[in-house]
Structure 1
């Protein structure tokens, strides 16, 4: 799936599509972590959330 996407005649790089698709996945994981209380294990929550997004993005690039 690493080919350009044709969006109404404009070719979009696959990394941009993956970056947009990684946002809802990250938000879902954040919601689960907040509801279970597991987010309190981390010292710097904002830094963890950025790292979570980057990890989800990398996994999507590798496996989708």
Structure 2
């Protein structure tokens, strides 16, 4: 396995695809958190959003690694 995806002849790192998936998941989760009012309890929203993205990226990679190996 090379760790790259072939998209119409352009090699894209696998991590970039996982990062895009984690970003889309974070958009959904952030919208749900905003709708429920959770952000009223958060001190620094941009820092929380970054931490949420990093956690989601770790989860996506942890789930995707056994599936792609």
- Distance in 1 (CA, whole Å) between partners of 2:14 and 2:41 is 34
Match of 2:11 in 1: 11
Secondary structure of 1:6 counterpart: strand
Match of 1:61 in 2: 61
Gaps of 5+ in 2: 65-69
Match of 1:25 in 2: 25
The number of aligned residues is 63
Alignment RMSD (CA, Å): 1.3
- Deviations along 1:19-53, whole A, 9 cap, x unmatched? 11111100000000000001111110110001111
- Measure how far apart 1:14 and its partner are: 0.7
Q: TM-score by structure 2 length?
A: 0.83
Q: TM-score by structure 1 length?
A: 0.89
